[in-house]
Structure 1
Amino acid sequence: MSTNAVAARPEAPPEANLKKQLKRADRLRKFKAIGLVAPLALFLIVVFVLPIGSMLWRSVDNTELESVMPRTVAGLQQWDGSGLPEEATLAAFAAELRDSRRGGGLGKVGRRLNYEDNQYRGLLMRTLRGLPASSENWTQTLVEIDPAWGETTTWREIQRASPPVTDRYVLASLDLERGANGEIQRIDAQDRIYQSVFQRTMVIAGGVTLICLALGFPLAYLLATLPPKTSNMLMILVLLPFWTSLLVRTAAWIILLQSNGLVNQSLIASGIIDTPLQLVFNRIGVFFAMVHILLPFMILPLYSVMKGISPSYQRAAVSLGAHPFAAFWQVYAPQTISGVAAGTILVFIMALGYYITPALVGGPADQMVSYYVAYYTNTTNNWGMAAALGSILLALTLLLYLVYHRLVNRKQLIRS
């Protein structure tokens, strides 16, 4: 009977089977697409997202003191900032200061407190040498070791350095600080350097971008309109700098632009000048070297766009009575906006992060933000300050890119 029941069960209609097969094929296609995209997504996360996220976190990370002296930090967070902290907090500070000799904690605390005042490293070392094994009155003991422990400002500065998150590095990167009452204010005029550094970085990057555009546009136009055989030969010369090390090219410019270099000797021999010009270790040398290095990055996007523009448009405008220059400016040039935008953004962003070329060819007044990022990373080990400078530069770059992108889109809409 069961066999007859099974045999009598109606089969699924062909439409239902077809839908199941289509759904199965669609899921398989999605899995294949995810499998193809997953390596690229993982690469972007590992190479870009995680480093940028780490940099952003480093710019506000302030866990050095908390990781070495957790009980002291907890006591200072409950302190109202008047007089001196409680005896229990000072006892915890003495015990954790003694224990900080193990594992490099003392150096970490001293380095962080030195950002507030450069006397703290010495103060901690003197205190540690005179610290007894026990005391019934740690307030008196610490003051006897060094009178600075009896000053409220000392403990306020330690309290200011104790929160796990701080805006100190970001504010310092903008020549700002928090006053005694917590309000944001500008630092002393003689200590302000970073606003001028960011301004200098933008000026150099913008100047290099404009020069590359002025030189690269006619050269890309020439490459796009010449016969293929000649154009390919010239393209090899454009790509030739890519086959030479950045450091070698920068050193070559130092040799060419120095007082006894080829450029000055040629100018003197031709009678244009009588004494050598100062062309290196200043802003002129920086522009020469950076334009030479970044010019191919402007030419290639322009060339790729210009190669796809039909010359018949410009010839048609001339045949209808337009002046050749008017035909070029009103018919040909608007079609190259995408290439101009791509080349300009590419060169500008690359110029913002240049370090080796300004460091070798420029003078002290020509160093860009990247120089100070390298200084805080390699010399002072102040990762928070380096990350803050990098984060501000990243934010400024994104802001300028969004403004530029909107302006380019607006121009395209107006012309269309």
Structure 2
Amino acid sequence: MTDAATGPDQITGATPDNALRTADRAEAGPVLSADGTPLKTSLNRALRREKMRALLLVSPLLIFILVTFIAPIADMLFRSVENRIVADTLPQTVAGLDQSSLEVPGEPTFEDLYFDLFLAAEAKKHTQLGTRLNYESAGVSSLFRSSGRRLDDIGEETQDALEDLDESWGEAGFWYGLMNNADDSDDALLKSERARVKALTAEPTGGDIAFAPSAEIAQILPRTTRAYTAWAVYIALIDDDVVAEEEPWEAVYAALGVDLERDATLEALATYAGPGADQLRAAAEADLPSVDYRAAFVEMDDGWGETEVWNTLRTYSSEYTIGYFLNAIDLQLTPNGIEKRPDRESIYLMLFQRTLVMSLIITISCIILGYPIAWLLANLPMRSANLLMILVLLPFWTSLLVRTSAWKILLQQQGVINDLLVWIGIVSNTGRLVLINNQTGTIIAMTHILLPFMILPLYSVMKTIPVTYVRAAKSLGATDWTAFWRVYFPNSVPGIGAGSILVFILSIGYYITPELVGGTSGVFISNRIAYHISSSLNWGLAAALGTILLAAVLMLYYTYDRMVGIDNVKLGG
């Protein structure tokens, strides 16, 4: 007989572990396999092959789960904190903002804003930025949209003055010869502007730009070189035009006007002898119009002179933000810290509470209605039980939209249910019940839709409860109620747990039925998530709401596991 205390390491016989031990303990040299390879090496190789074969067998399922489940959740989590649009659209403006100030910035920041916003307007990105900031401060969207249409006017004054001074300033070839120098180029600037354009556009940025910004000109005219390089990258890669044949944007002329006002530029031009030297010195000596960028922006829209706009830019200038999560719980991120939203804007905590409470009511309703049906299914003769099971499964064969639309007809004040109640005399014709576009309609419709998800787990568990248990209890003197409550019901609890988890999790994520029959008082948080995804396009807030909902489900699941034990939940067997 085998000793009961014998452990896995004491088993005798030809096992892989014993073979490896024999190989390790051999004193006369390693044990060899048939092909002359050491037995230990051969066995390890075989084990690796088996593991790789098993991994290949499950890899399609792993890839499917990764693509359809893990990746969407990870993307949702990232979108709930991602906020790169401000920094990508207005990089110079954000870099020059004084984060510690709560006032309207000075002239240098408005100057940076002009050149950032000009490129963003050409890429049609300024409207997206305005929409993003409009979530935090109403009116910002129209501010960016209206300003984007009038940016050309600021640079046109300098452009007209330069062309009146020398016709060369209106020639594309002259600009290209002045700014391009492949032998002594500022590659870092070109790379930076290429990345900047790529961040602003959805177009592929690749290929030959056929332009290299002159390092010498970049030192003399830094603002002009940056503006021209951004224009050249955009023209070559987005518009697919030839840089040397196109006249630059008005922003390039405005940038030249800014550079020519710098003392360092005037000193450098005195010794400059490269292309366009005479024209540059003449332009520096001429009386070019000076642009007050702050006054120009305020003239375009008074909003640029308000502190609220700039404080919103400061608050949401970082690449990542907790603002979406704060908005999802009726708070807001302000320059002064986290503050509570006004009562008229606080809706999300109420929606979360409503969703959880109504989902719980729906779950309890399904238990009350589904338990007797499941008991009948489990105890009726097979033929009758099969017929009843077909009726239970029938809703699965009908479209969800059709079932919900049917409830709209049944529940309305002139609908079938109210007509029946009036005919019976329970309610008067003038006192018809309001059963639609409220919480009552949502609970009724969703209870009907989710009822099969409660009945099926209950039935599968009840079918495994031996009828002899109740008979034995009765034979010992128990009444029908005592036999049910003390014997039958405890054995059916695992089915209640499984059905409750299914119904509750499904109900908190429902949005079609509440949208159609819930009105304003019967909608769930999922309806708001769907609104932000499809209508307002506030995907960051939708992702934050979805993340909080996911966390709430996991927390409830964990609580249920600690209190009841998830191992006690089963679908039968």
**TM-score with structure 2 setting the length:** 0.66
Paired amino acid for 2:96: G
- Deviation (angstroms), 1:274: 2.4
Q: Tell me what 2:143 maps to.
A: 123
Structural mapping, 1:58-97, within 5 Å: 58-76=79-97, 78-85=98-105, 87-97=107-117
CA–CA distance in structure 1, aligned partners of residues 295 and 443 of structure 2: 62
| 1:266 maps onto 2:420 in alignment | yes
Counterpart secondary structure, 2:339? strand
Amino acid at match of 1:365: S
> For residue 542 of structure 2, what is the aligned residue in structure 1?
386
Q: Which amino acid aligns with 1:171?
A: L
How much does 1:137 deviate? 4.0
**Post-superposition CA distance 1:86-142 (Å, at most 9, x none):** 544322210111111223201111111212222222322343344311255433433
Cα 1:130/1:25, change in 2 over 3 Å: closer
How many residues end up aligned between the 2 structures?
402
**SS class of match (2:561):** helix
Name stretches of at least 5 consecutive residues in structure 2 with no aligned partner: 1-27, 156-253, 255-289, 569-573
Does the Cα contact within 8 Å between 1:73 and 1:159 map onto a contact in 2? yes
Name 1:229's counterpart in structure 2: 383
- Cα deviations across residues 7-33 of structure 1 (Å, max 9, x unaligned)? xx9994569977666545433332232
Partner of 2:445: 289
Structure 1 segments, 4+ long, off by >4 Å, are 9-25
Give 2:330's match in structure 1, choosing from 175, 181, 184: 175
Match of 1:4 in 2: none
The counterpart of 1:312, out of the listed 468, 493, 496, is 468
Residue type of the partner of 1:59?
A: S
Distance 1:125 1:248 in 2: 43
Q: Distance in 2 between matches of 1:409 and 1:11?
A: 52
Contact 2:126/2:148 (CA < 8 Å) preserved in 1? no
Matches within 5 A, 1:20-35: 22-35=43-56
Letter matched to residue 91 of structure 2: P
Q: Using a 3 Å threshold, how does the CA distance of structure 1 residues 315 and 30 change in structure 2: closer, same or farther?
A: farther
Structure 1 residues 161-188: Cα deviation after superposition (integer angstroms, max 9, x where no partner)? 2111111111111111134421x22211
TM-score scaled to structure 1, two decimals?
0.89
Offset from partner CA, 1:312-368 (integer Å, 9 cap, x none) = 222222222223322222222222222111110110111111111111112211111
Measured at CA, do residues 318 and 30 of structure 1 come closer, stay the same or move farther in structure 2, by a change above 3 Å? farther
Candidates 133, 139, 149, aligned match of 2:294 = 139
Aligned residues with identical type, % of pairs? 46
What per-residue deviation string (whole Å, max 9, x for no partner) do you get for residues 244-283 of structure 1?
0000001111122223332222222223222232222222
User: What residue ranges of structure 1 are gaps of 5+ in the alignment?
Assistant: 1-8
Hey, what's the Cα distance between the residues in 2 that align with 1:58 and 1:143? 33
Compare 310-319 and 393-402 and name the one that shifted more.
Answer: 310-319
Task: Say if 1:25 and 1:153 are closer, same or farther in 2 by CA, change over 3 A.
Answer: same
Aligned partners of 2:516, 2:566: CA distance in 1, in Å?
40
**CA RMSD, Structure 1 to Structure 2 (Å):** 2.5
Q: Could you say if the C-alpha distance between residues 147 and 312 of structure 1 is closer, same or farther in structure 2, counting changes exceeding 3 Å? A: same
- Higher alpha-carbon Rg: 2
Q: Report what 1:277 is aligned to.
A: 433
Q: 2:95 is aligned with what amino acid?
A: A
Is 1:161 aligned with 2:326?
no
| Of 360-369 and 112-121, the range deviating more from structure 2 | 112-121
Q: Distance in 2 between matches of 1:60 and 1:139?
A: 32
Return the offset for 1:49. 0.8
Could you say if the C-alpha distance between residues 323 and 104 of structure 1 is closer, same or farther in structure 2, counting changes exceeding 3 Å?
A: same
The residue that corresponds to 1:56 in the other structure is 77
